[in-house]
Each structure stands twice: as C-alpha cells, then as structure tokens.
C-alpha cells in the first residue's frame, strides 16, 4: 500500500510539472495556432534564471522562483514581438524559426554554464518528507501539485472572466471582425504568449526542485511530454491538458516501477505513454475535450 501511495504522489508531482509546461503550450497552440517549438527552451531559461538567482544572486528560494518566472516571461514576450508576430500568416516559417530558437537557447546556456547538470538549491522546508498512509513522500511533490492547481484556476478565470480572455477567444474565431471593432488583437496575443512563457518558466524553476538539478536540455525533454499532453487533452483545452497530465504522470511512474531490470524494459514508462496516446486518439481523435477551456 505504501508503495502505491508513493508512486501515486510522485506521478501526480510529475503530472503537475507536465501541466505547467503544457498549459502555456496549449494556450499558444490552441488559441493562436502557433506551434511553438521554442517553448521548452523558455522552460530552460526560467530554470537557469532561478538557479542563478538562488546561487550567485543569493536570493531565497521563492524569490529565485519569482525571478526565473519573470525572466522566462520576458523572453517569451520578446520572442513573440521579434520573431512570431511578423510570421503569423506564415506557419511554416513559424515552425522553422521556433525550432531554431529551441536549439539556440539551450546551446547558449551550455556555452555559458557548460553541459553538466547544476545542483539546484533545496530549501530546508521543502527538502523533507511527510508520512502519508504509511508512505514517506517528498514535500516538493505537493508543492508542484499546488502550483499546477493554482495555474489551472488562474488560466480558467482569465479565459472566462477577463476582458482580454474574451478578446483572445473572439480573435481566434474571427480576427478581422474583432480588429474592425477597434480592438487591438495583437496586444491580446502578446499577453497569451506572456502567460504561456510564465507557466513554462515557473515549471522550469520548479523542475529544479523536483529533479534536484538543472541542465540545458531539461526543457527539450519535458517539451516532448508536453506535446503529448496537449494532443491528449485536446488542443486549446486547459482542463483537458490538466487531466491528460495526471494520466501521463501516473502511467509513467507505475510503468517504470513495473519495469524489470535486465529484460529490456527500462523505457517501459515512456513506451506506456506512447501506447496511451495511440489508444486515446483511436477512441477520441480530438483528444479528451477538443475544445477551449
């Protein structure tokens, strides 16, 4: 029983991390039809900014996380203004440009700090464990789940209850009509990119807490599973992404535990996620929801 509880909590923590990355990707792709392959690089930027603030900047953990989130958000806005905005009508060029940025930023981080993983400072309050139903569970798993729930709630409120959320939804349906009404859709789209970048960089900062270290390719690895979550949840659906993240995290953890060393099953967790994606798409081609929010 204790093993099941530990695996479930670890899977939920991993799923929460996937959601933080996938939520911004789902917004940008679902609302703006921009396939941002640089999204993982934004996560790495946030992770390294938080790591630098906590080590060289001597900031406390939460201030370092806030700093990393702000830096990642600024990088996302800069990416949209300089690179994405001139290419909204050229989706093929968007893909090429974001792939280039997604490769260049990790290479830049590697050039500055090297390719080796850097230990991420663990605050004393979050480095301990708690006993839950006989299992000893790291506290940081609950921090990730709480952060994911907060982001989910804020995103739903933004889309359903704020003026800019409604503008974005309307602009996706008929951008020309919204512009004809005198509303600056471009500003709303920049805001969506900023929110997506903030969620990704927050995920990057908290990924250091989950894994205990940061490395330049961390964002690229998480981006693969974020795309899986977006497809499974339904493009543009934040709620679908949340449900899919939980499923992927749990399946991956339990499958990895079931893998038997020496029988070639070391990657059983990743394989199980791929199988889960294939089965879901056969049953529900548009994902779990296939709709906005």
pLDDT of residue 263: 44
pLDDT of residue 67: 92
Whole-number Å distance between alpha carbons of 23 and 122 = 25
Instruction: Name residue, tokens 């702000």.
Output: 70
Whole-number Å distance between alpha carbons of 48 and 119 = 11
Single pTM value for the model: 0.86
Q: Do the beta carbons of residue 203 and residue 21 sit within 8 Å?
A: yes
Alpha helix positions (H), the chain: 2-32, 39-55, 61-79, 91-113, 139-161, 163-173, 175-180, 185-211, 218-233, 238-258, 268-283
pLDDT of residue 56: 83
Domain boundaries, the chain: 2-219
pLDDT of residue 149: 92
- Per-residue pLDDT in tens (0 to 9) along the chain, 293 residues: 677 778 888 888 888 889 988 888 887 777 677 778 888 888 889 899 999 998 888 888 889 899 999 999 999 999 888 888 888 778 788 888 888 888 888 888 888 888 888 888 887 777 777 777 776 777 878 888 898 999 999 888 887 888 777 776 666 566 666 666 666 667 777 888 888 889 888 888 888 888 888 888 888 888 888 888 888 887 767 888 888 888 888 888 887 777 655 544 446 777 777 788 888 878 877 777 755 44
Residue 137 DSSP SS3 = strand
Give which of 206, 258, 266 is closest to 7, Cα–Cα. Answer: 258
């Amino acid at each position: 029983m204790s093993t099941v509880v530990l695996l479930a909590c670890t899977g939920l923590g991993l799923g929460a991390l996937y959601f933080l990355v996938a939520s911004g990707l789902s917004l940008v792709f679902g609302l703006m039809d921009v396939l941002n392959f640089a999204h993982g690089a934004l996560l790495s930027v946030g992770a390294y900014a938080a790591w630098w603030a906590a080590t060289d900047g001597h900031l406390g953990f939460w201030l370092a996380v806030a700093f990393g989130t702000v830096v990642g958000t600024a990088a996302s806005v800069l990416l949209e203004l300089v690179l994405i905005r001139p290419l909204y009508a050229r989706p093929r060029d968007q893909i090429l440009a974001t792939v280039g940025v997604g490769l260049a930023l990790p290479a830049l981080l590697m050039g500055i700090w090297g390719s080796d993983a850097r230990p991420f400072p663990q605050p004393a309050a979050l480095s301990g464990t708690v006993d839950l139903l006989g299992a000893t569970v790291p506290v940081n798993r609950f921090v990730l789940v709480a952060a994911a729930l907060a982001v989910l709630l804020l995103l739903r409120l933004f889309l359903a209850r704020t003026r800019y959320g409604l503008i974005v939804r309307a602009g996706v349906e008929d951008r020309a009509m919204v512009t004809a009404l005198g509303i600056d859709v471009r500003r709303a789209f920049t805001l969506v990119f900023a929110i997506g970048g903030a969620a990704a960089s927050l995920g990057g900062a908290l990924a250091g807490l989950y894994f205990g270290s940061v490395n330049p390719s961390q964002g690229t690895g998480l981006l693969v599973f974020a795309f899986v979550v977006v497809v499974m949840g339904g493009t543009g659906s934040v709620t679908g992404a949340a449900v899919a993240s939980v499923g992927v995290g749990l399946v991956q953890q339990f499958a990895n535990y079931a893998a038997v060393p020496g029988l070639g099953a070391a990657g059983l967790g990743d394989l199980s996620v791929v199988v889960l994606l294939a089965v879901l798409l056969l049953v529900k081609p548009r994902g779990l929801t296939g709709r906005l929010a």
